[in-house]
Amino acid sequence: MNAERRAAFVTSVGDLLASWHLPHATGRVYGLLLITDRPDTLDAIAAELGLSKGAVSTAVRQLDSWGLARVIPQPGSRRLLVEAAGGLETLLEAGHARARKLIAALHDGETLVGPGPARDRLQDVIGLFEGYVDVGVELLRQRRR
C-alpha cells in the first residue's frame, strides 16, 4: 500500500471514530494498527502519525479499554508493543458490554417514574438498546458458525 493511500485510510478511520466522540488521534492510531502486520512500539506509531508519544499512549489506553487494541509488555523492558485486536466481534462485544450497563441504569430509572409519558419514553429507550444487543448477539452467533 503506498504511503498516500495509507495516510488517507488512517485519517478516514480517525474521522469516523471522532464522529463517535473519540479523539481523532485515537482513531488514527486504530486505523494504523488495523493495517500494520506486526505489533508496533508507541515510538514507531508516534513517528509515523506525527503525534506525541503521550497522545499515542492515551489513544492506546482508550483503544484497549474498548477492546480494540492489545498491549503486549516486553519482559525485562518498559517498552510496550501494541496491535489491533479482533475486529467486528471485538467492537460489537465492547459495545454490548457498554449497552448492557446503560440498560441496567435505565431499568433503575424505572423506579423513579410512575405510569405515564416518562415511563413510556424510558421503556422505549430500554427496548431500543435491548434490541441492539439482541441483534448484535445474533450477528455474532451467525458469524461464528
Alpha-carbon distance of 117 to 109, in angstroms, equals: 14
Rounded mean pLDDT, 39-44: 95
- pLDDT tens per residue, range 90-112: 777 877 888 899 999 999 999 99
Phi and psi at 122, nearest 5°, equal -60, -45
Alpha-carbon distance of 73 to 67, in angstroms, equals: 16
Does residue 36 contact residue 84 with C-beta atoms inside 8 Å? yes
What is the CATH architecture assignment of 3-84? Orthogonal Bundle (1.10)
Rounded mean pLDDT, 34-57: 95
Q: Is the pLDDT of residue 1 over 80?
A: no
Domain regions of the chain by residue span: 3-84, 88-144
Rounded mean pLDDT, 6-20: 90
Sequence-ordered alpha helix ranges (H) in the chain: 3-19, 24-34, 42-49, 53-65, 88-109, 117-144
How many percent of the chain have pLDDT more than 90? 66
Q: Would you place residue 36 in the very low, low, confident or very high pLDDT band (cuts 50, 70, 90)? A: very high
- pLDDT tens per residue, range 111-145: 999 999 999 999 999 999 999 999 988 988 888 88
> Cell numbers 471514530 correspond to what residue?
17
Query: pTM score, two decimals?
Result: 0.69
Q: Would you place residue 88 in the very low, low, confident or very high pLDDT band (cuts 50, 70, 90)? A: low
Q: Would you place residue 74 in the very low, low, confident or very high pLDDT band (cuts 50, 70, 90)? A: confident
CA 41 and chain centroid, separation: 20
